[in-house]
Amino acid sequence: MNQNKNFLYSANGDDAISATMEALMFPATAITGMFGASLTTTNVSIQATTGAGDNNHQMLITHASGKNKEVMNAVTKLANSAGPFTVISAFPVGGPELFPINNLDGTILVTNIAITA
Burial class of residue 108 in the structure, from the number of CB atoms within 10 Å of its CB (0-12 exposed, 13-18 middle, 19+ buried): buried
Residue-wise pLDDT for 46-84, tens only, equals: 988 666 667 788 999 999 999 999 999 999 999 998 778
Give the number of domains in the chain: 1
Of 90 and 96, the one with more pLDDT: 90
Q: Domain for residue 101, yes or no?
A: yes
Name the nearest CA neighbour of 42 among 59, 61, 55: 61
What is the pLDDT at residue 50? 65
Q: Domain for residue 13, yes or no?
A: yes
Domain that holds residue 51: 7-116
Residue-wise pLDDT for 19-45, tens only, equals: 555 778 889 999 999 999 999 999 999
What is the pLDDT at residue 1? 44
With b meaning 16 or more CB within 10 Å and e meaning fewer, what string describes 58-81? Answer: ebbbbbbeebbebbbebbeebbee
Q: Domain for residue 68, yes or no?
A: yes
Q: Domain for residue 1, yes or no?
A: no
